[in-house]
């Protein structure tokens, strides 16, 4: 049928100088004002005005290829102050805003120019109320969006979210009908509405069998009970606090969570439940053979760490760590630093993945590097630096190795990924609006 399963959900957030009366509606009207002020401060070179737009508890995430950097407020402002030393031109297009009285989310495409440098990509801001004003609590540039994806049949590979197999992460929202209901109130919070007016080829999936696969678990066959439009979000803690303080009913919580959520077309599965990373595909297509990882021994780990530290991405993070007054190597000394080395015995081509990561909540340095190596006679040869993830299994698709698992450490594991060694990933992106402090 040719409906395209988008590889990444572009999920963002924004806000504004707030009303003191939190009962006076959501942050949506103010969010546009914050975006305008944010753009004006950068285009006007007014760092003081820019600084005032940010919450005390703030996390910023920068991404470039296989490298990601997480910064607290002080680190973000230190980095941005350098940018303000030169004139810049910043614009935002396709701005979309969803808000509740406690928080708002804005999605837009940012265009940024300074001197000879120019980049363009999706941006995420999360806005919360702080001392009677709306402030930016999270800012994130999302990379690798919709990168040359291929047409994929809906039941060939579907990430599993709660009780749903996600068939499309960019459905026509006109298909959603009726009131939102709460399917799961944990993180991510899942809501859904009835799906109506679906194309016949989609509607025909009801009653079909799907096989659910989760690494390390037995395969399970489920029946598609119905199709629904599904919403998912990790709300900001202030939103949940407001729900508790005002004793919000289920209908109001569902409506507000739905407004903040990413939207997906989901097949409600009957017969299988899983709380682990999982995917589903049409039972008539057959299950996919999964390869599980083996932890690298001491010799392999030592070789892999030496190889990783030669990468420009690792060195760039080391420079960032030192700039934030870090001592020693960031993958050893930074908060919660760790290096994972796994061997994957794929048919005819053993591979080794190396993931170095560190994260200090809102209080300091965070970063991540992910690389794939070929293993030959104990020696490692760099194959690629694909999008980072926490791989749970490897498989062969069309003769090429692919990793399946949760999203990278810098994405707080709120979604799932299918990452080929070469080529663009498929991601189930879920809006993360909370503060990781």
Q: Give residue 354's Cα distance to chain centre.
A: 20
What is the rounded distance in angstroms from the CA atom of residue 38 to the CA atom of residue 53? 7
Question: Is residue 145 pLDDT above 50, yes or no?
Answer: no
Q: How confident is the model at residue 144 (pLDDT cuts 50, 70, 90)?
A: very low
Q: At what angle do helices 250-260 and 237-245 cross, to 10 degrees?
A: 160
Q: For the stretch 316-331, what's the b/e string if a residue is b when 16 or more beta carbons lie within 10 angstroms of its beta carbon?
A: bbbebbeebebeebbb
- Rounded mean pLDDT of the chain? 85
Counts for the chain of helices (H) and strands (E), in that order? 9, 23
Cα separations in angstroms, 388 against 35, 63, 417 = 30, 11, 9
Q: Which of 64-68, 165-169, 182-186 is the least confident region?
A: 64-68
pTM for this prediction: 0.79
Asked if the 28-141 domain carries CATH number 2.60.40.10, the reply is: no
Q: How confident is the model at residue 121 (pLDDT cuts 50, 70, 90)?
A: confident
270 in Cβ contact with 209 (< 8 Å)? no
Question: Is residue 2 pLDDT above 70, yes or no?
Answer: no
To 5 degrees, how large is the angle CA 417–CA 419–CA 421?
165
Q: What is the pLDDT of residues 333-355, one digit of tens each?
A: 988 899 999 999 998 889 999 99
Q: Which of 58-62, 199-203, 220-224 is the least confident region?
A: 58-62
Q: What is the pLDDT of residues 383-417, one digit of tens each?
A: 999 888 889 999 988 788 999 998 776 666 558 99
Cβ atoms within 10 Å of 183's Cβ, excluding its own: 20
Q: Give residue 262's Cα distance to chain centre.
A: 11
Please tell me whether residue 282 adopts helix, strand or coil conformation: strand
216 in Cβ contact with 292 (< 8 Å)? yes
The pLDDT, as a whole number, for residue 120 is 81
Which residues, in sequence order, are CB contacts of 143 under 8 Å at separation 6+? Answer: 63, 64, 65, 121, 387
Q: What is the pLDDT of residues 5-42, one digit of tens each?
A: 222 222 222 323 333 333 446 888 898 999 999 999 99
Domain definitions of the chain by residue range? 28-141, 158-285, 294-424
What is the rounded distance in angstroms from the CA atom of residue 175 to the CA atom of residue 172? 6
What is the rounded distance in angstroms from the CA atom of residue 7 to the CA atom of residue 423? 11
Q: What is the pLDDT of residues 270-302, one digit of tens each?
A: 999 888 899 999 999 899 999 999 999 999 999
| Tokens (6 digits) for 12 | 């963002």
């Amino acid at each position: 049928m040719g409906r395209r399963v988008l590889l990444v959900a572009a999920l963002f957030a924004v806000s504004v100088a707030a009303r003191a009366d939190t009962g006076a509606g959501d942050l949506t009207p103010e969010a546009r004002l914050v975006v305008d002020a944010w753009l004006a401060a950068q285009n006007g070179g007014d760092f003081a005005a820019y600084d005032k737009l940010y919450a005390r508890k703030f996390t910023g995430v920068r991404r470039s290829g296989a490298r990601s950097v997480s910064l607290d407020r002080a680190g973000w402002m230190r980095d941005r102050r350098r940018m303000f030393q030169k004139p810049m031109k910043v614009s935002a297009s396709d701005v979309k805003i969803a808000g509740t009285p406690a928080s708002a989310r804005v999605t837009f495409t940012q265009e940024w120019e300074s001197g000879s440098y120019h980049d363009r990509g999706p941006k995420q801001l999360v806005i919360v109320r702080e001392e009677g004003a709306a402030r930016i609590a999270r800012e994130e540039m999302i990379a690798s969006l919709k990168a040359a994806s291929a047409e994929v049949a809906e039941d060939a590979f579907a990430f599993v979210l709660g009780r749903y197999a996600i068939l499309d992460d960019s459905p026509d929202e006109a298909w959603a009908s009726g009131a939102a209901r709460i399917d799961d109130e944990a993180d991510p919070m899942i809501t859904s509405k009835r799906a109506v007016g679906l194309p016949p080829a989609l509607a025909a999936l009801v009653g079909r069998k799907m096989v659910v696969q989760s690494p390390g678990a037995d395969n399970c066959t489920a029946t598609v009970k119905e199709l629904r439009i599904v919403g998912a979000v990790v709300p900001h803690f202030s939103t949940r606090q407001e729900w508790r303080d005002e004793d919000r009913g289920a209908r109001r919580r569902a409506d507000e969570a739905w407004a903040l959520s990413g939207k997906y077309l989901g097949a409600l599965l009957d017969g299988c439940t899983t709380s682990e990373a999982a995917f589903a595909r049409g039972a008539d297509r057959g299950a996919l053979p999964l390869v599980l990882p083996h932890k690298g021994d001491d010799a392999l780990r030592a070789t892999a760490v030496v190889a990783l530290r030669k990468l420009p991405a690792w060195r760039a993070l080391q420079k960032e760590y030192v700039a934030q007054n870090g001592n020693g190597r960031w993958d050893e000394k930074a908060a919660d630093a760790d290096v994972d080395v796994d061997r994957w015995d794929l048919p005819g081509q053993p591979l080794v993945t190396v993931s170095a990561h560190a994260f200090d909540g809102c209080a300091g340095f965070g970063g991540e590097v992910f690389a794939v190596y070929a293993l030959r006679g104990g020696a490692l040869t760099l194959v690629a630096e694909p999008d980072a993830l926490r791989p749970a299994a490897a498989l062969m698709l069309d003769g090429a190795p692919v990793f399946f698992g949760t999203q990278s450490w810098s994405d707080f594991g709120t979604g799932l990924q299918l990452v080929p060694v070469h080529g663009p990933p498929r991601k189930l992106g879920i809006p993360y609006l909370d503060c990781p402090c």
